[in-house]
Every structure is written in structure tokens, then in C-alpha cells.
Amino acid sequence: MGEFMSGESGKEVPHIVRAVMQVLIMEAKKVMSQEDAQALHQLESHFNHMRSTGGKWAEMSILARGAWTFSGTQSTFDIDTAEEMFSRLLTNCLTLVTPTFDPLGLVLDPLAARANHSCDPNAVVVMDGPELSFRTLKPIGKDEEIFISYIDVTNPFARRQDELKERYFFNCKCSKCRLGPTQKEDKWALSPDKLPGAWAETADVIIASAPHIVKDPVSFVGDDKSSQRLTALQYTAFSELEHARRMSEPSAMVRILEGGMKTCFQSKMWPVYRQPYPALRDDLIVAYISSGESARFLSAFVHGVKRYFQIDPVLFPQPFHPVRVVHTYTLATLALWLSSAPEDCPMDAMKFLEHGIDLGVVIFGLLVEVHDNVQKSHGQNSSFAKIIQKKFEEMRTDITRGDAGMIAQVMGKIESQWSTLRAFGLELEV
């Protein structure tokens, strides 16, 4: 079954508009196979529901009209058809990503669109160029239903429910949601009344300036004073994440993300794996790297180490979870960079020496791990697996230099290096 993709990414035209234009053009020119067209029209569009959402639909309808106009298909389709297609794509598209989960656009694959959602999925969708595959996260029995996740399932219960309701029009009753807000995603580090005084004051200022926040259903913690303060802080932390995601300039992003992390960290309320704390850190690592400033690569590495030891094993328990494998690979790449350019950052080289970190061993250990898991996470023939294989071979040749015994020596050092590295990550307060 084919896919219909939007073009390359671009900030000017929203992906959804490009995708709708493309499908309208394909249909008008009859370049879509009968089978694909049929599968497309069988997908639920939730059009009537979407139209009844008032202000929200008013905004979307402008985009739908834009797609219709720019596609030049007004003589073939009426505006209702264009709006319905817009609604259908919005409901059914997955974000098109690179094998390392960088968003590129939207993809509509009728087969993937029919897989149901669970906040505790047994499969995950991995994309590789035009190919889309399901990778299992748990053993799936014959005739057992395959579930993928449409949203970030590491979010707390109320936020997941809201996102699925808003975008996909259903109340999630998956195995995890049936347990309500009782799982690790909803755990606080301390009870709300333990909020440090300075943060209680900050929260009171926030509440005074926007009293409606305490009733925000997705951030709601409780009705007593302490819980209201925590609601306000949770609301603020998520707003900061969303704010940073609308920015395009890395240093501005860094500033906002660091601010959001400060709320989670200094208030002492957030376990390190509770959202949006880990999402802020993920984005911060990316922002540090994309700033292109070599001085920030060490910061990215330290946050990456913390994520590797303290966060990913909790949020993605399977070592072969594609997101976890990509994070580990990012860490290996950062370590490679830091080890290859010590003259750029003599202070960094000193820091590793002081802590007893042998970057060569660390890089090799991380690559071994990625290499061991990539078959399950991305598939043996994926372009990502090929990149890993190549890097791994390069590294092995580099280590052996004609002496095969060197590999065993390096492997023997991994265990002790891992406790050194873990301690290094723990030193990072935030």
C-alpha cells in the first residue's frame, strides 16, 4: 500500500497544508491507484465533529481553504471535499520522521492509520525514507491486536487523555489509562505541601496573574492551596516546553528550556523522569548540539549521560526501544566528537581526565550497545543499521590496529568505565 507524503519540511507552509494539497492534486490528476484512493476514503475523517468545534475549526478551515486554493483543484472539488480531506489527514497522519525521529513532515499510510492506539503499545512505527515499518516492543501472539501510540505516552494521564480527545476524538481506555493517574507518569517526588517556600511564592505570583490556571484540566493536581501551586508550576513547565518548540533560534531555545528545567528541578517536585522534565532535557540536548558551539557539546554530553542512566531505562524499559537506541547513538556521537577535538576544548579533555573517563572505552561500549540493539529497533536492512555497522567497524579497526587482543582489553574496561560514567552523570544537579 502506498503512502502520500508532504514535501520537505518548511516552516512557511504547515505540513498538513502541503499534505492536503498533494492528495487533492493526486486525486484530481488521477495518479493515485484505485486501491490507494479507496483505502484513503475509507479512513475516518471526523469531519462533522471537527466542524462542530467552533473557533478551533475556524482556524483549521482557513488552512483547508488555503490548501484547496493553492492545489488549483477548485474546478474538480468543492470546498467541503477539501475540508473533509483536511480533517481526514489531520486525524490519520503520522509525523514523518527520519530513522532518528527528527520530524520531516506528515505521512499517511492507510495500513498504519488503522492500527489502534494504546498508551502502553506493543509496537512502534519506525520510518526509513519512504518505508514505514512496525517494530515490536513486546512479544505479540497470533491474532493479538497490534497497538501503536499516536502521542507521547510518557505524559501524565490527564494530558494523554486530552491530547487523544482533542486530536483523535476518543477517550482512551487502554490498559494503562484504565489504571487512571496512578502510574509512574503521574508520580510526584514529594507531596505538594513540601514545595519549598520560594517556589510557593513563585506559584502564588503565577496564580495571581492568571487565576484560571488552577482549574486547567490537564495540569490539575488538586483543590487545596498546595495542590493549586503545583498545578500552576506544572502548567508553567509545559508552557515553557511548548514555547521553546515554537522557537527556531537555538540560543533562545536553550534559555527557555533551561528555565523550564529549573522549575522542575528547583521545586523538588519532579522525579527526573516525570514530564515535561525529560522532554525539556531532550530538547535542550538537541538545542545545544544545533547551536554549533563546541563549548556546548560537553553540556549536551553530560545531559546525555544523565538521560542514559537515569531516564531512558524508566521511560523506555526495552533496551531496543527505537527512541532509546537513538539516544544512545547520539551520546556515542557526542563522545566521538569530544574525543576527536580536544584542542577545541582543552577544559573538556581535562574534565574527563579528572573523572577517570576513558572516552575511547565509552564510545566503544555505547556503539556495542547500539550495534546489539539496532536489529530489533530499526531492522537489519534499515539505513540506520547500516550507519551503525559502518561506525562500529571503523571503531573496531581503530582499536585493534592489527592487534586483535585489544578488543578484549577494551571490552574488559567497559564495566568499570560504566560506573565512572554513571557517577559523572549524577554530578549534574539539574
Which secondary structure element, helix H or strand E, spans residue 147, and what is its range? strand 147-148
**What count of residues does the chain have?**
430
Please give the Cα distance from 111 to 131 (Å, whole number). Answer: 12
Q: Which is nearer to Zn ion, 56 or 165 (CB)?
A: 165
**Residue 240: C-alpha distances to residues 211, 229, 236, 277, 361 (Å):** 18, 17, 6, 11, 37
Q: How many positions of this chain bind Zn ion (CB under 5 A)?
A: 4
Instruction: Select the residue interacting with Zn ion from 174, 335, 338, 374 (CB under 5 A).
Output: 174
Shortest CB 181 distance to Zn ion, Å? 11
Cβ distance 181 to 172 under 8 Å? Answer: no
Cβ distance 20 to 129 under 8 Å? Answer: no
90 binds Zn ion (CB under 5 A): no
Please give the Cα distance from 105 to 96 (Å, whole number). Answer: 5
Of 38-46, 114-122, 288-296, 362-370, the segment contacting Zn ion by CB under 5 A is 114-122
The contacts of residue 345 (CB under 8 Å, 6+ apart) are: 294, 295, 297, 298, 338
Q: Which is nearer to Zn ion, 158 or 421 (CB)?
A: 158
Shortest CB 120 distance to Zn ion, Å? 7
Of 73-81, 117-125, 281-289, 419-427, the segment contacting Zn ion by CB under 5 A is 117-125
Instruction: Select the residue interacting with Zn ion from 64, 177, 195, 385 (CB under 5 A).
Output: 177
Of 174-182, 183-191, 320-328, 354-362, the segment contacting Zn ion by CB under 5 A is 174-182
Cβ distance 387 to 100 under 8 Å? Answer: no
Of 232-291, which residues contact Zn ion (CB under 5 A)? none
Of 71-79, 165-173, 206-214, 343-351, the segment contacting Zn ion by CB under 5 A is 165-173
Q: Which is nearer to Zn ion, 41 or 173 (CB)?
A: 173
Shortest CB 186 distance to Zn ion, Å? 12
DSSP string, 278-338: HHHHHHHHHHHHHT--THHHHHHHHHHHHIIIIIHHHH--STT-HHHHHHHHHHHHHHHHH
Shortest CB 125 distance to Zn ion, Å? 17
Q: Which is nearer to Zn ion, 177 or 254 (CB)?
A: 177
The contacts of residue 231 (CB under 8 Å, 6+ apart) are: 213, 214, 216, 219, 220, 221, 222
| Percent of the chain that is helix, strand, coil (3-state, to 5) | 60, 5, 35
**Residue 18: C-alpha distances to residues 9, 15, 66, 93, 196 (Å):** 10, 5, 10, 12, 48
Shortest CB 292 distance to Zn ion, Å? 39
End-to-end CA distance of the chain: 46
Q: In the numeric block, which cell numbers belong to residue 162?
A: 486530552
410 binds Zn ion (CB under 5 A): no
Shortest CB 379 distance to Zn ion, Å? 27
Instruction: Select the residue interacting with Zn ion from 172, 357, 363, 368 (CB under 5 A).
Output: 172
In three-state secondary structure terms, 150 is: coil
Of 90-98, 119-127, 238-246, 420-428, the segment contacting Zn ion by CB under 5 A is 119-127
Shortest CB 11 distance to Zn ion, Å? 31
119 binds Zn ion (CB under 5 A): yes
Q: Which is nearer to Zn ion, 158 or 213 (CB)?
A: 158
Chain residues binding Zn ion by CB under 5 A are: 119, 172, 174, 177
